């Protein structure tokens, strides 16, 4: 089974599919979106998806009349843990940090101030919402940042008005590029959350220090159409969804959860169980 899984990943495009679904976890992604993001023909992608499902690396779930795909984390974990145990013999000096807490001794987080980065594409609305909400909700426990993979030159005016109406301090907010947080002198991050699908779809270099990460998909209110009231309602929904997710995040017992349990909790928040 281990050789079957590595054989499935021996083709660069199949590896790209798996990496995309890992970045989008816990979302379940339609084949059409995968094909668009990776520039693959539908029939070619169909063959790749079937091979990855058979290898136990991705899952296929029916939603109504459509099929959606996601990363099979137990299968991936079994593959990597088998490799580490068989080849690395459980030596922490050979196993990559954070790959398996049982092997590396990396269990839970210490009690301190944590650094959190929220990412979306434009850094003009959703990630700005998340930054502001967490800072207001628990700014004594978290150092909070936001950034965009393709940041806008200015914050969205409706987003700014929404924050102002909710009593947030908007004086220091600005759109920033993720590159500000990836250099050698950048602040060490403990958590990195993507809040839009487009940013999660993009490849990103590994973050120094291996921070915990999760994807909290939030519809883009900037794309809403209609009257000003209808558009503002979309911003209200985005704000409310992120507020509920961040409230669930701040309630987590960070110092007592091991990293695997914490990751599962972050993913559950992303699935929306705590967001509505």
Q: What is the pLDDT of residues 25-46, one digit of tens each?
A: 989 999 999 999 999 999 999 9
Mean pLDDT of the chain, nearest integer = 87
Residue 97, domain member (yes or no): no
The reply to whether 95 belongs to the active site is no
| Residue 274: band (very low, low, confident or very high) from pLDDT cuts 50, 70, 90 | very low
Residue 174, domain member (yes or no): yes
**42-54 vs 31-38: helix crossing angle, rounded to 10:** 110
The reply to whether 196 belongs to the active site is yes
Asked if 54 and 157 sit in the same domain, the reply is no
Residue 211, domain member (yes or no): yes
CATH code, domain carrying 216: 3.40.50.2300
Asked if 257 and 192 sit in the same domain, the reply is yes
Asked if 253 and 118 sit in the same domain, the reply is yes
Asked if 218 and 128 sit in the same domain, the reply is yes
What mean pLDDT comes out for the span 35-64? 95
Per-residue pLDDT, 49: 96
| Per annotation, catalytic residue among 87, 88, 95, 196 | 196
Asked if 43 and 158 sit in the same domain, the reply is no
* CA dihedral over 205, 208, 210, 213, signed as positive or negative: negative
Q: What is the pLDDT of residues 101-125, one digit of tens each?
A: 444 445 567 778 999 999 999 999 9
Residue 194, domain member (yes or no): yes
Per-residue pLDDT, 124: 94
Residue 276, domain member (yes or no): no
Residue 235 has pLDDT above 80, yes or no: yes
CA distance 156 to 99: 39
Residue 211 has pLDDT above 60, yes or no: yes
CA neighbor of 147 nearest in space, from 171, 128, 170, 169: 128
Q: Tell me which of 49, 73, 97 is where a domain ends.
A: 73
Range(s) of the domain holding residue 146: 114-271
| Per annotation, catalytic residue among 87, 88, 95, 204 | 204
Asked if 167 and 253 sit in the same domain, the reply is yes
Per-residue pLDDT, 201: 86
Per-residue pLDDT, 86: 60
More confident site: 107 or 223: 223
Residue 41, domain member (yes or no): yes
CATH code, domain carrying 56: 1.10.10.10
The reply to whether 204 belongs to the active site is yes
Secondary element (H or E) of residue 73: helix 73-83
DSSP string, 125-160: SHHHHHHHHHHHHHTTTEEEEEEESS--SS--HHHH
Do the beta carbons of residue 108 and residue 256 sit within 8 Å? yes
Per-residue pLDDT, 246: 97
Total number of domains constituting the chain? 2
| Residue 60: band (very low, low, confident or very high) from pLDDT cuts 50, 70, 90 | very high
Per-residue pLDDT, 205: 67
Residue 99 has pLDDT above 60, yes or no: no
Residue 273 has pLDDT above 50, yes or no: no
Asked if 58 and 133 sit in the same domain, the reply is no
| Residue 83: band (very low, low, confident or very high) from pLDDT cuts 50, 70, 90 | confident
């Amino acid at each position: 089974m281990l050789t079957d899984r590595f054989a499935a990943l021996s083709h660069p495009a199949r590896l790209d599919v798996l990496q995309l679904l890992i970045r989008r976890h816990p979302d379940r992604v339609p084949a059409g979106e995968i094909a668009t993001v990776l520039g693959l023909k539908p029939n070619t992608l169909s063959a790749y998806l079937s091979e990855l499902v058979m290898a136990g690396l991705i899952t296929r779930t029916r939603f109504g009349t459509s099929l959606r795909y996601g990363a099979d984390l137990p299968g991936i974990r079994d593959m990597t843990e088998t490799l580490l145990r068989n080849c690395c013999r459980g030596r922490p000096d050979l196993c990559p940090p954070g790959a398996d807490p049982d092997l590396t001794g990396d269990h839970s987080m210490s009690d301190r101030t944590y650094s959190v980065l929220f990412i979306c594409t434009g850094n003009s609305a959703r990630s700005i919402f998340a930054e502001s909400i967490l800072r207001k909700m628990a700014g004594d426990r978290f150092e909070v940042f936001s950034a965009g993979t393709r940041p806008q030159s200015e914050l969205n005016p409706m987003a700014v008005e929404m924050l102002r109406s909710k009593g947030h301090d908007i004086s220091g907010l600005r759109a920033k590029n993720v590159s500000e947080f990836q250099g050698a002198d950048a602040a060490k991050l403990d958590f990195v959350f993507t809040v839009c699908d487009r940013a999660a779809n993009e490849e990103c270099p590994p973050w120094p220090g291996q921070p915990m990460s999760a994807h909290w998909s939030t519809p883009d209110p900037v794309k809403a159409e209609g009257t000003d009231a209808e558009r503002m309602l979309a911003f209200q929904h985005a704000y409310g969804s992120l507020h509920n997710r961040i409230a669930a995040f701040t309630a987590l017992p960070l110092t007592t959860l091991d990293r695997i349990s914490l990751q599962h909790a972050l993913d559950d928040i992303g699935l929306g169980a705590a967001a509505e």
